[in-house]
Structure 1
């Protein structure tokens, strides 16, 4: 604990030296990657300085846009976790957030002599957003302080929806966006973790990856199969049915409660109805009240259709050398997995092991499709060897 307190004092001194005020642990206004600002910020946790110039040469400081901040969170007997979110005015391919362990030293403008910390990219599912992964990513950063974790809003979702990406809106184009962001940030991810739709995006990234971006080493596909998605299921909360229901609703809703009531009336669970309210924002148009969607619903409908139809079995049958793909099946998510899917993955396990690659199947007990909320402890245990090991190959 004494060492942690020393880190707090040291970091605070660095902030004051750079011209920032406030107590250690406060939010410090710092322009983040891609902003049109010029800010100099020296931070011992990150070991770097950023420079972004505004049109008028001004410097954004404490009290400016809350999204342009660096947060240091102190947990008893735990290292700091630094969160670096983007500003709204970003020229990056996607909106993103970087969560860094205490020992992860990196910034976008960096000395090439400084080794890049290991990076994992976490990808959300359809109708989700990067916020779905924040708590879990912070836990990983606390346990593995040399790592950093990049969370993104995929196209048509969250803050990336405002970028108005051109179609087609598909698994492939979503993967291409993330690859473009990796190139812009000059990051080479060692691990990709994708949930549901994000799992297929992760596989498509490996399929498309080429120089100058190296292939990720470890790919975790959480509760998604490589092939076509079977329609239907247990009759509750099917994403295709949810999207169809949302498309029938008016573009503006009077209240969050009205959304919950409407979805509950259509047979969706209370948890899904409540979760969907997180995708609402106050209407901004003059003369309009109520709420509207943060996402591009029509684009998402196209993305989900692509998710159903995209077939990536060829990647699983011929995994590139040095790449390891882990499939995780949720115990209570039976309708997404056919017997032949499981058998084919097991067959791929045997083939890949003889070709310098890897495929492995896991089952997460006591979990439905929302694996990182249904059983976060179990998921954490399964992922731990991925971040604790040191035998990582690089391309």
Structure 2
């Protein structure tokens, strides 16, 4: 990944070094990146958000400058890791924001640790439908690591990265995210990164698509403010998954940003930060009640108002 203008700090938890950046002061926001990315995917919004909040943006285990051990790369394992990171840093609660795979981790974090989750923001998130780009499903196939070892040899890698970045400058909406894809592809030159990514994907995707889902537990969001943000031109996870969120997540706010792809926080950072800030300012932090949580678990999903879907036309 590219260098970060913010100081990268490190903490060792359970014997593994974890990288993160921290900026600002105020209520805590935890930003979790997607598959193959690192904290730098949030750079366009960190400074804006840090004017009002304490922003913590880690490199998930197996990504970026964090260690890439043989370890538990399940969404539950990642949620535990984020709890431990917040604990070591001295924070009890946070508004949890997750992009793509990080959205799946955010959902799991909110489910496992509702007492530590003030709000939940899902950005082009996994876990809202089975469909996923074939490029991600391909990571689960035999021979992926060997193929990437060849494709990321210096000459081929440089040509591939240059080609993807050139295509990303075309006016085609389908090419919008290729610059970020080029950065992810370049990271695969590290054998440890390839190995970790394959384990991550196999934990959440099989040949039919995504395995993880929030649909069977979405009713629990009645007790927690939730916002879903999507780019209308997303080619990785289809924008119709935002409609799935509107159907299954009672009272959630759903925003679809026009002229944006799988990385709306990069395509329109000021608009994204405005949506997040307005969501936080207009909602009260969730207050965990064991009695209420027990009641929800016992009764299951009941009739509740559907979320409203808002299209945002970006300037």
Equivalent of 1:166 in 59, 62, 71: 71
- SS for the counterpart of 2:97 is strand
Equivalent of 1:248 in 143, 147, 156: 147
- Mark the CA change 1:231 to 1:140 in structure 2 (over 3 Å): closer, same or farther: closer
Partner Cα separation in structure 1 for residue 150 and residue 218 of structure 2: 40
Partner Cα separation in structure 2 for residue 141 and residue 380 of structure 1: 10
Q: TM-score, normalized by length of structure 2?
A: 0.71
Q: TM-score, normalized by length of structure 1?
A: 0.58
Q: For 1:78-125, what per-residue CA distance to the aligned partner results, in whole angstroms no more than 9, with x for missing partners? A: xxxxx55324x7346662334332xx2xxxxxxxxxxxx411000000
Runs of 5+ consecutive residues of structure 2 not aligned to the other structure: 169-178, 205-209, 289-315
Which residue is equivalent to 2:23? 100
Check if 1:155 corresponds to 2:48: no
Work out whether residues 133 and 237 of structure 2, in 8 Å CA contact, stay in contact via their aligned partners in 1. Answer: no
Work out whether residues 95 and 153 of structure 1, in 8 Å CA contact, stay in contact via their aligned partners in 2. Answer: yes
Work out whether residues 158 and 295 of structure 1, in 8 Å CA contact, stay in contact via their aligned partners in 2. Answer: no
CA drift at 1:371: 1.3
Which residue is equivalent to 2:101? 197
Partner Cα separation in structure 2 for residue 359 and residue 120 of structure 1: 18
Check if 1:124 corresponds to 2:21: no
Equivalent of 1:216 in 106, 117, 126: 117
* Structure ID, larger Rg: 1
Which residue is equivalent to 2:157? 259
1:306-345 correspondence runs (5 A): 306-307=203-204, 308-319=210-221, 321=223, 323-333=224-234, 336-337=237-238, 341-345=241-245
CA drift at 1:306: 2.5
Greater helix content: 2
Task: State the number of aligned residues.
Answer: 268
- Mark the CA change 1:231 to 1:388 in structure 2 (over 3 Å): closer, same or farther: closer
Partner Cα separation in structure 2 for residue 274 and residue 127 of structure 1: 11
Equivalent of 1:275 in 157, 161, 183: 183
Partner Cα separation in structure 2 for residue 362 and residue 84 of structure 1: 31
CA drift at 1:189: 3.2
Work out whether residues 259 and 273 of structure 1, in 8 Å CA contact, stay in contact via their aligned partners in 2. Answer: no
Partner Cα separation in structure 2 for residue 180 and residue 362 of structure 1: 31
Partner Cα separation in structure 2 for residue 385 and residue 393 of structure 1: 16
For the aligned residues, what is the CA RMSD?
3.5
- Mark the CA change 1:98 to 1:230 in structure 2 (over 3 Å): closer, same or farther: same
CA drift at 1:265: 7.7
Partner Cα separation in structure 1 for residue 283 and residue 131 of structure 2: 38
Partner Cα separation in structure 2 for residue 253 and residue 346 of structure 1: 40
Equivalent of 1:207 in 111, 134, 154: 111
Which residue is equivalent to 2:298? none
Partner Cα separation in structure 2 for residue 393 and residue 333 of structure 1: 30
- Mark the CA change 1:186 to 1:335 in structure 2 (over 3 Å): closer, same or farther: closer
Partner Cα separation in structure 2 for residue 239 and residue 137 of structure 1: 27
- Mark the CA change 1:204 to 1:268 in structure 2 (over 3 Å): closer, same or farther: farther
